[in-house]
């Protein structure tokens, strides 16, 4: 099932997306992870007639630095023995078709397509075998990065944290095998990243265990699982489309 948040006039609503139709449900996104049957179904909307919102507003976004075997090979780096993590601020979140604003303090802003785990309920010290019980679904995240500032600073916070540097969406897919999904990215229609999540070093479930051992994950928090090979720069006016097979396409324009 694909879940979306969208604007109807000025009202923010949650709905189930099927083909190009949205059926509104009277609950929040996090409530919808549990059982949509208990929520009454209301209006029907055409996808092309509403504005999609970021599917949710996480309290934090925990990202994984290097998590694809093919990306590590590309960089000539040894495979990490445990995940390297960092946090993007929630203030960076934008949705499908929202503009990514190119900051004047950077001269190289890169795309990074990633599959993102959405947490469904409070998670602390979760065992790997129980991790799926805490996952509400999966979305696409573009881990936009000011690469020149990342290389200059020892800490990555500045490079990863500009407003608009965290596009997520277009929907949350609640039923998906995260260990075997085609993942790709197009810049101005040209394929730049093209891999499969089976190349991930640490699985979604291992990441829920590792990160929830450190910090409590709140309902709606996001774990972004790292990017495959082929990262590169974007320029003002470019159109970037991040795609995961069973989720859809997250499209943004650079302004």
Tell me how far, at minimum, the Cβ of 211 lies from Mg ion, in Å: 15
CA 111 to chain centre: 12
Instruction: Give the separation between CA 21 and CA 191, rounded to whole angstroms.
Output: 28
Q: Would you count residue 241 as binding Mg ion (CB under 5 A)?
A: no
Instruction: Give the separation between CA 117 and CA 88, rounded to whole angstroms.
Output: 14
Cα 84–86–88 angle (5° rounding)?
A: 150
Tell me how far, at minimum, the Cβ of 114 lies from Mg ion, in Å: 6
Rank residues 53 and 166 by Cβ distance to Mg ion and give the closer one.
Answer: 166
Handedness of CA 73, 209, 144, 152 (dihedral sign): negative
Rank residues 28 and 108 by Cβ distance to Mg ion and give the closer one.
Answer: 108
Q: Which residues pair with 139 in a beta bridge?
A: 116
Q: Would you count residue 227 as binding Mg ion (CB under 5 A)?
A: yes
Q: Which one of 112, 221, 241, 243 is in contact with Mg ion (CB under 5 A)?
A: 112
Tell me how far, at minimum, the Cβ of 76 lies from Mg ion, in Å: 18
Rank residues 36 and 181 by Cβ distance to Mg ion and give the closer one.
Answer: 181
Residue matched to tokens 């200059």: 152
Rank residues 39 and 86 by Cβ distance to Mg ion and give the closer one.
Answer: 86
Rank residues 14 and 142 by Cβ distance to Mg ion and give the closer one.
Answer: 142
Judged by CB under 5 A, the chain residues 140 through 169 that form the site for Mg ion are: 143
CB 27 within 8 A of CB 39: yes
The contact set with Mg ion (CB under 5 A) reads 112, 143, 227
């Amino acid at each position: 099932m694909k879940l979306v948040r969208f604007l109807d006039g000025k009202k923010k609503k949650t709905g189930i997306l099927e083909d190009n139709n949205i059926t509104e449900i009277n609950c929040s996104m996090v409530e919808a992870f549990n059982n949509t049957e208990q929520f009454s179904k209301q209006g029907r909307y055409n996808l092309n007639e509403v504005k999609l919102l970021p599917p949710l507003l996480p309290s934090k976004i925990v990202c994984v630095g290097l998590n694809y075997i093919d990306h590590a090979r590309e960089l000539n780096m040894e495979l990490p023995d445990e995940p390297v993590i960092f946090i993007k601020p929630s203030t960076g979140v934008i949705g499908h078709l929202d503009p990514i604003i190119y900051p004047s303090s950077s001269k190289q802003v890169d795309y990074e397509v990633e599959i993102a785990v959405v947490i469904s309920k409070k998670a602390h010290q979760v065992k790997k075998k129980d991790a799926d019980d805490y996952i509400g679904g999966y979305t696409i995240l573009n881990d936009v990065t000011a690469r020149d500032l990342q290389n200059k600073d020892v800490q990555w916070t500045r490079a990863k944290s500009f407003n608009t540097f965290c596009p997520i969406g277009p929907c949350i897919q609640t039923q998906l095998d995260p260990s075997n999904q085609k993942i790709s990215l197009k810049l101005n229609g040209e394929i730049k990243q093209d891999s499969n999540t089976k190349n991930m070093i640490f699985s979604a479930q291992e990441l829920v265990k590792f990160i929830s051992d450190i910090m409590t994950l709140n309902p709606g928090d996001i774990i972004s699982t790292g990017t495959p090979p082929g990262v590169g720069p974007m320029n003002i006016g470019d159109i970037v489309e991040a795609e995961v097979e069973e989720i859809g396409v997250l499209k943004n324009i650079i302004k």
